[in-house]
Amino acid sequence: MTLERQILYVLELKTDSQIYSKIGETQQNLNKRISGFGFGSRFQGMEKDVKPIVKMETLLAPSLERLVKKLLQKKKYKKLQLKDRNLGRGYTEWYIMESSTMVALVRNAFKQLYKDDPYLSQKLGELKKQMGEI
């Protein structure tokens, strides 16, 4: 892992019948990343319809992505996982859900990360104290 620019993203793809959401992280330009998905069959050419809902530059992107994916493995979300190879590389990261649900999972991952990491919790506490003094 490098300390270069890292982007955590939540994407949404609407078709006539469904709404799909995807979580991921990249160091590439997000539009370039989306165009490289390589959709096929009924999704071919729909890369242009993929809409970024959240694009967050943070060094915590890989950790947050792992935490969200862990949350998505719970029974309630596991059944919503779309395992359609026509969605190209990363096809297992697409879920049949509103992007707002995926964004809520990202928020939960942030809370969990700060709660579970004593160093981040301490630094966040110090920052809150400093902000209160201003």
Question: What is the 3-class SS of the chain, one letter each residue?
Answer: CCCCCCEEEEEEEECCCCEEEEEEEECCCHHHHHHCCCCCHHHCCHHHHCEEEEEEECCCHHHHHHHHHHHHCCHHHHCCECCCHHHCCCHHHEEECCHHHHHHHHHHHHHHHHHHCHHHHHHHHHHHHHHHHC
Comparing 11-15, 27-31, 84-88, which segment has the lowest mean pLDDT? Answer: 84-88
pTM: predicted TM-score of the whole model, two decimal places = 0.81
Who contacts 121 (Cβ-Cβ below 8 Å, separation ≥6)?
Answer: 114, 115
Average pLDDT score over residue span 96-103: 94
Is the pLDDT confidence value at 3 over 70? no
Is the pLDDT confidence value at 120 over 90? no
Comparing 32-46, 56-70, 117-131, which segment has the lowest mean pLDDT? Answer: 117-131
Identify the pLDDT of residue 129.
72
Identify the pLDDT of residue 55.
93
Identify the pLDDT of residue 131.
66
Identify the pLDDT of residue 134.
44
Identify the pLDDT of residue 87.
83
Instruction: Categorize the per-residue pLDDT at 111 as very low, low, confident or very high, splitting at 50, 70 and 90.
Output: confident
